Amino acid sequence: MSNKGCLRKNTMKVKIINLPNGYKRIIYGKYFEQFDLDYEQDLDVLKKDIEFALSVIEYNRSIFKKFSSLFENKIIFVYQGGHHLDIIDRDKGSLK
Q: Are 59 and 48 in contact (CB under 8 A)?
A: no
Q: Is the pLDDT of residue 55 over 80?
A: yes
Q: Are 50 and 68 in contact (CB under 8 A)?
A: no
Q: Is the pLDDT of residue 67 over 80?
A: no
The whole-chain average pLDDT of the chain stands at 80
pLDDT at res. 7? 47
Question: What letter does residue 77 receive in the DSSP assignment?
Answer: E
Spans of all domains in the chain:
3-94
Q: Is the pLDDT of residue 20 over 80?
A: yes
Residue 54: other Cβ atoms inside 10 A:
19
pTM of the entire structure? 0.74
Q: List CB contacts of 26: < 8 A, sequence separation 6 or more.
A: 14, 15, 16
